[in-house]
Amino acid sequence: MAKAAVSVAKRRPTRQIHVGGVAVGGDAPVSVQSMTTTKTADVEATIQQIYALAGAGADIVRCTCNEREAAEGLARIVPRSPVPIVADIHFHVEMALAALDAGVNGLRLNPGNLRKPEEIKLVAAEARDRGVPIRIGVNAGSLHPALYERFGGATPEALVESARMELAYFDEVDFHDVKISVKASNVALMIEAYRLASETFDYPLHLGVTEAGPPPGGLVKATAGIATLLAEGIGDTIRYSLTADPVEEARAGRQLLEALGLRERKGLDLIACPSCGRAEIDVIKVANDAQVALEARKIPLQIAVMGCVVNGPGEAREADLGIAAGRKRGHLFIKGKIVRVVPEGEMVEALVSEAEKIVSEGIEARLAAADASAEQAAEEDRRELFESKGSDANHSDERVIEIRKHLRALGGDAPPAGRGATAAGGSQGAGDETSSGEDGTGS
């Protein structure tokens, strides 16, 4: 619903191609891709997975085309798919031609394993005549042995050279409907390869860290590579290659683009404080319950769950909607303004209900419908909580006193004068160590 006000670096200009109805490159939004894990010949299972991927944020889906039955499956899948379908081709030129016959919206060729120039040119000429784009999908793990030898390994230069050689074959048959990927499982290598590709070509780039592995490590690696490049303005379409349900790939891709402000928010963005000594609720549980309920309803808002009303509404004032815990009650706020107070046991329910109303009525209407006494109730809770927990909600002063007591008992020196030296009195230590409460550092 809300478009991020701030985005990352200006995107580097590239040509634009079209994969079915999805524009890639130029000024088109960065698109999300994923790949099915079903047998392509199993049409019903594949269609079901494609719908799940599209629902999770995939704009383009790739299916393997490794045998005749897969190509025949594609002929039935493409017309029923909600998103463009790209056929993934390895080794067999016949499969590339069969996929084109099946009506796919794009091909991915790996120059490392479809090597004969005549075959490459034949596929490119067929794709040209049908207006179907091809991704030159270079992969560090399957680099042509001659390039491996020439460059002394799978270097960024070797990966880019592989793409350049394939482009030269395409040029010979006047085919330019191309995007390029230079993937590697090594994140640093992948980043350097794409930087070089971006300097070398003006074709759109498909970003990915190949074989990133299972989450959470795979998510971290893929995000490190893809986000770094996107933040430099490099990349036109992305794929997370996770060892997981591909729905997670599509979701991660979409969430990354939304987080970087490169795509309009389509799904939920739940933010929550990390909790601290001030928390009046089990923040982890409430945040998880809220996430499940809001995701089930596909609420496209940024929603905050904050552990206390002392800092919560202020720190999450940019969120569309949020809830912060007060004294046994929850304070609902919209864009930082408290609009309603609800019993603690009804916090999640109230949050979901308000989110649905915002989606149907809009933020301004819901702000106008605010309970006039809510702000006053929040102020009372805020004051009481602050007074009861003081400025040392995390008990840091007590811990400092304990440390010093133990050190003295062990015969250690008193701590150096200055920072926290008068913690026994609480004031200096509280000021230095525990500002998390009042000034919000804890969040």
Chain residues binding ligand SF4 by CB under 6 A are: 273-276, 278-279, 306-308, 310-312, 437, 440, 442-443
Residues 104, 231: Cα–Cα separation, whole Å: 32
Q: Which amino acid is at 20?
A: G
Residues 115, 176: Cα–Cα separation, whole Å: 19
Ranges of H-type helices in 362-414: 363-368, 374-389, 396-409
Minimum CB–partner distance for residue 300 and ligand SF4 (Å) = 24
State which residue, 107 or 273, has the beta carbon closest to ligand SF4.
Answer: 273
Start-to-end CA span in the chain (Å):
26
Residues 341, 345: Cα–Cα separation, whole Å: 12
Q: Which residue lies nearest ligand SF4, judged by its C-beta? A: 307
Minimum CB–partner distance for residue 322 and ligand SF4 (Å) = 10
Minimum CB–partner distance for residue 278 and ligand SF4 (Å) = 4
φ, ψ for residue 275 (rounded to 5)? 75, 155
State which residue, 160 or 306, has the beta carbon closest to ligand SF4.
Answer: 306
Ranges of H-type helices in 131-180: 145-151, 156-172
Which residues are 24's β-sheet partners?
17
State which residue, 184 or 308, has the beta carbon closest to ligand SF4.
Answer: 308
State which residue, 97 or 306, has the beta carbon closest to ligand SF4.
Answer: 306
Beta-strand relationship, 206-207 and 237-239: parallel
Minimum CB–partner distance for residue 370 and ligand SF4 (Å) = 21
Minimum CB–partner distance for residue 433 and ligand SF4 (Å) = 15
> Largest Cα–Cα distance of the chain, in whole Å?
86
Minimum CB–partner distance for residue 310 and ligand SF4 (Å) = 6
Torsion of CA 359, 334, 271, 349, to 10 degrees: -70
State which residue, 273 or 377, has the beta carbon closest to ligand SF4.
Answer: 273
State which residue, 44 or 439, has the beta carbon closest to ligand SF4.
Answer: 439
Tokens linked to 14 = 């590239």
State which residue, 76 or 327, has the beta carbon closest to ligand SF4.
Answer: 327
Residue 85 three-state SS: strand
Minimum CB–partner distance for residue 351 and ligand SF4 (Å) = 15
